[in-house]
Structure 1
Amino acid sequence: MQRKTLHENAEFACPIVGTCLTISELRRICRKCGDAVPDEASDYDAHGFLVGQAKVAGGAPAKYLQRFLDKKYRKDLRAFLRVDDPEKLRRMWRERADAGDVPGPFWAIMSHPNVPQWLMREVYGEVHMLSHRVGAANRADLSRLAWLEEKLSEAAAALEDQKSVLRQAVGVWKNRCREAMEELAEQRRQRHAAERERISLKAAIENSAVAAVRRDRDILSRQLAETTKQLEATEAEAGRQALALEKMHAELTTARRDLDDRNSEVTALEASLFAALGDAAAAHAAHAEHHQDDIEALQEGHVCPCREQGLPEGVCGGDCPCPAAQTHPGLAGKRVLYVGGRCSLVAHYKLLASKFGCELMHHDGGREQSAHRLWELLGSADAVVCPVDCVSHEACSLVKQACRGCLKPLILARSSGLSSLARSLAELDAPPAQ
């Protein structure tokens, strides 16, 4: 039985091209197709062209792409073609995917002649969600990497300033050492001259009067003592300069060691970016579980969380023990559109809106739902809430334009949390200022 072609897997052409080809390979294959994709076209345009060509039965680009993938992943194809049992194929895919090897096994599964449709859907779903998780984690990691690069540049600039100061100090020290050595040489020459003069005076003493000799000898002794004292002071200064040089050298060594430590730290932080990808899913699950506890507390009705969570009093509805609990006539029976936010909290958003007596409609801000769907929801909504921290710029601009044109209330919430939504609903529920 022959393997499945790209044309037979037309509905999976997009993930096959995007997962199994690198950007350079994508560009190279597009150049093989002539001038259909110019060099200045974006990577997305090149991807879209190749996906479209892969769906054309018998087309030259589709055949070339088929041969290219078969040659690139021939080892994976041979390994998977030896297996016909779907459960065994599923186990092989799971082992390879958990090990981080996705492109080759993905193509082998998609082109296998005996893979059932349920297994293809399962593998496609994993690859599709993996791209979302990697994209979401990369945005946070890229922000952290940009901050670290900025800190590294600041540290490098500070180290460069320290090096400049140190170089200037070393230059000053060298000049002082040179002057001290010249002064020492001069003192030595003076000492040698005094010694020669002493010898000549000794000879003169033997031929002169004792009084004249003693007088001259005393004068020369004082000069010799002063000269010796100056020489000792000069040598002591030279010693201090030598100690200062050793200290500056030690500081330079310490600065270099600190720079090596910072470089090692940056390397370790860059490696941690890739390790953080695995923690993204756990963080989202913990966040959803935390909010689930808040919702359960609202449903049980034992303790009103209005004040404890900083929410406006009365958002829990008629069962709220707060003295300010009351109905919300301003939102009763109305539809509120929530654009963006976290998909894991959509059920909690709707539950909170029901406490205000209104119906909450949700649009993910363009992650998976289209702009056409957003226009449909805007047409049936009475008011719009948009969290600016978890929505795309395109969706936010579209919402502003639509609400301005249709004169609908729009609340731009600061965050996508439940307390922020509660404050927004309370603001919509408040009566208009007289």
Structure 2
Amino acid sequence: MCDKHPSLDPANVQFQTQQSSRRRRIWELSRNCHCPLIGVALPLGTLRKLVEKVTGGALMHDDYEVHVGAVNDCTSRNRVAEAVQKELERRYAQVIFRFRSARSAAQVAELWEAAVNAGDVAGAFWAGLSHPACVPALEEKMCRDIHMVQHQAGACARADIGKYNALLGDKARFEGELARLQARCNALLHEKKLDADRFEQQLMAARAATIARETDVHNLRNELAQLRSTIPELETRKRLANQLARMEAREAALRGQIAELKTNRAEAAARVAEPAAAAPAPAVPASMSAAPPVIPIQLVNQSVLCVGGRSGNVSFYRKMVEKSGAQFAHHDGGLEDSSNQLDASLAAADLVICQTGCISHGAYWRVKEYCKRTGKRCVFVDNPSVSSLARGLQEMGAVPALAMAEEGPATEAEACKT
């Protein structure tokens, strides 16, 4: 530093520091330092506020006029110069404290070089110029350096302005793209909102339908419970109905077996009758040649239920009914047989014979109501004799007249004896 600037001789520096140790004020600097110092160390906005505060009113001048006016005012001590001095001391107090350790112009020059290399020249420029050890040669060097720094800053500013303009173009392009994307997002959001509203309506409708269905199920369950409570012996009737179905299936199988046996018996009778037909027929009296009229048999392979009657006549009832080709079943009307079995017996029968003379009132009305409700054929016999039963079946066209003529009186006599 001393080779470049001969005026920075140690003797001169010593003489300078011996003259005064007080830092210089801004109005004590040379006129060449005011312009770069105010331009670099104080932003234009801050400078305008200081001047407006001192003058007590808003300035109508532009930034250049404010700058030139402040530079001229700082050449002497006045209110503007004192305000600028105070602001510089406050703003760059830390840098001033760092430069306070320098005891010679060479040390101040080293601190200045370091600040220039670091790019932080505003505070260092004021701290170096106001330092007690700053000599005119160092002051001139600092002014030249700050001048070049300003040129570099201007070039950088121009480059930054170009980049800034390019960034503005990119910003405008991105803003346009962002606006398009926002419009698309808004349209998608509107569409999704419509879909969400539609799905919400469908969900509400489904919930309403589910609630209505659950309400119907609850009402039906209540009605079922009420019906079950009003119908006595419902479980027993269900069990009897299942039993009836099994009995009907068994009855069908038995009828098939009976039909097969009857077919086999007819075939066997035909084979036996063939040799007898070849022999000469014996003479038949004229009185026996004419066969008695036969009523058409209508109960073949059917089930006949006899309800009531005398217990001693049941065997004769069975014999007479089975001769007509039917199956016989008997129920005493609740005397010994269970009354719960009556419904099953009625359901399994094709024809019902009700012995009204030997039956309880409950069984009578039960048989009558069942036959009326189901449309099942029913014969009501007042007298429990076998002949009365035969007449009832003859009226139904069920028993041949010959069988009734041969067996009716005998069986009726036996029944009376019983």
Same fold (TM over 0.5): no
TM-score w.r.t. length of structure 2: 0.42
TM-score w.r.t. length of structure 1: 0.40
Considering Cα pairs closer than 8 Å and 6+ residues apart, tell me whether 1 or 2 has the greater RCO. 2
